[in-house]
């Protein structure tokens, strides 16, 4: 069992940046593949980015590739999502998710992830 707590959301102008953090409360963080998902009002939750257990592989949704960067610090049990060049369409609740997986194969389906944080709101607006 692992608990995930996101932070770093807020209101930002278009073109701005935010860094989301997701702290894990558990002893085996380095065994987890970590993902970020988001859900905009009236829409289904969608995959944003994921990183394998020791960070060898990353994968991004096409809509954020080149603007967002996922990283992790296993010593701090934390995964990050650096979001640059933000657009109004990035407005959503962002969720951190984890699955026990020590492979280097990225999972993009939310059904593949076992543990979820409570979400943090990101609003991009002028």
Please give the pLDDT value at position 27.
Answer: 73
Using only the alpha carbons of the chain, give its radius of gyration.
13
* pLDDT recorded at residue 28: 85
Helix (H, G, I), strand (E, B) or coil at 109: coil
Encode pLDDT of 20-36 as tens digits. Answer: 999 999 778 888 999 99
Closest by Cα among 5, 6, 4 to 122: 6
Residue 19 confidence class, pLDDT cut points 50, 70, 90: very high
Per-residue pLDDT at 95: 98
Residue 76 in this model has a pLDDT that exceeds 80: yes
Tokens of 9: 């959301």
Stretch 84-113: mean pLDDT, rounded? Answer: 96
Neighbours of 73 (CB within 10 A): 12
Sign (positive or negative) of CA dihedral 122, 20, 106, 27:
negative
pLDDT, averaged across the chain:
95
Output the pLDDT for position 29.
Answer: 87
């Amino acid at each position: 069992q692992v608990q995930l707590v996101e932070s770093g959301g807020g209101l930002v102008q278009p073109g701005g940046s935010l860094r989301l953090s997701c702290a894990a409360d558990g002893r085996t963080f380095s065994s987890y593949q970590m993902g970020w998902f988001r859900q905009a009002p009236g829409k289904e939750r969608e995959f944003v980015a994921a990183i394998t257990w020791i960070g060898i592989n990353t994968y991004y949704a096409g809509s954020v590739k080149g603007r967002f960067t996922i990283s992790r610090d296993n010593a701090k049990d934390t995964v990050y999502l650096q979001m640059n060049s933000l657009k109004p369409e990035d407005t959503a609740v962002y969720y951190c998710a984890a699955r026990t997986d020590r492979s280097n194969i990225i999972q993009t389906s939310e059904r593949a992830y076992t543990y979820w944080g409570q979400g943090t709101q990101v609003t991009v607006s002028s």
